Amino acid sequence: MSLVGKKFPNISIDAMSEMGDDLKINILEEATKNQQKVLLFWYPKDFTFVCPTELHAFQEALPEFEKRNTKVIGASCDTNEVHFAWLNTARDNGGIEGVTYPILADTHRQLANILGIVDQEFEFDEEGNEFFTGSNVTYRATYLVDETGKIFHESVNDMPLGRNVKEYLRLIDAYTHVQKFGEVCPANWEEGKDAMKADRQSTAEYLAAHKN
């Protein structure tokens, strides 16, 4: 069930800072109390393969998110201790040394289960007994939360599929444009391009002006 348009769950989760500090982070409060947008991205496991490429990609784009008053937060079901070890492992050795945003440690899967993003599958044997077959880690889920705590974007990738970080910058730009001007953003909209009023005439005019 989609959470878009709903408030982000009001729950505090353990987290690790780049300095090795144990934190408690509440995404809803991060957005509302600090009047900022939040990008929360989940990845399956520390010390894996696609995951460090994503964490470094978000780190490299961090100045662009900060320009847009957006806080970036990573998340997995690993412990704070594992996060700290990964943060202290060199990039050339598959680590995430140099990452400066906090990372949630949802070891009890409290938030991940509320969001419905954990790979938890159950099957039955010939005698009807239920048994667990999932990996019990999260998919690559991403949430964009606005200054009121409302989720305005969510997406979930299967584990082998890395994200396009630039797309989240585009989505933040589009949502900010809607907030500021009350216009809607058509397909493939980017900052500086034409937006539209939410009526049929504007749609017709836009389509006429943007024929291939």
- Which residues are catalytically annotated? 51
Q: Give backbone dihedrals phi and psi of 16, rounded to 5 degrees, phi first.
A: -120, 135
Report the C-alpha gap between 211 and 95 in whole angstroms.
47
Map residue 7 onto helix, strand or coil.
strand
Give strand pairing partners of 109. none
CA distance 137 to 165: 22
Amino acid at the residue 29: E
Q: Do 178 and 185 meet the contact criterion of CB atoms below 8 Å apart?
A: yes
**What is the Cα–Cα distance from 152 to 95, expressed in whole angstroms?**
31
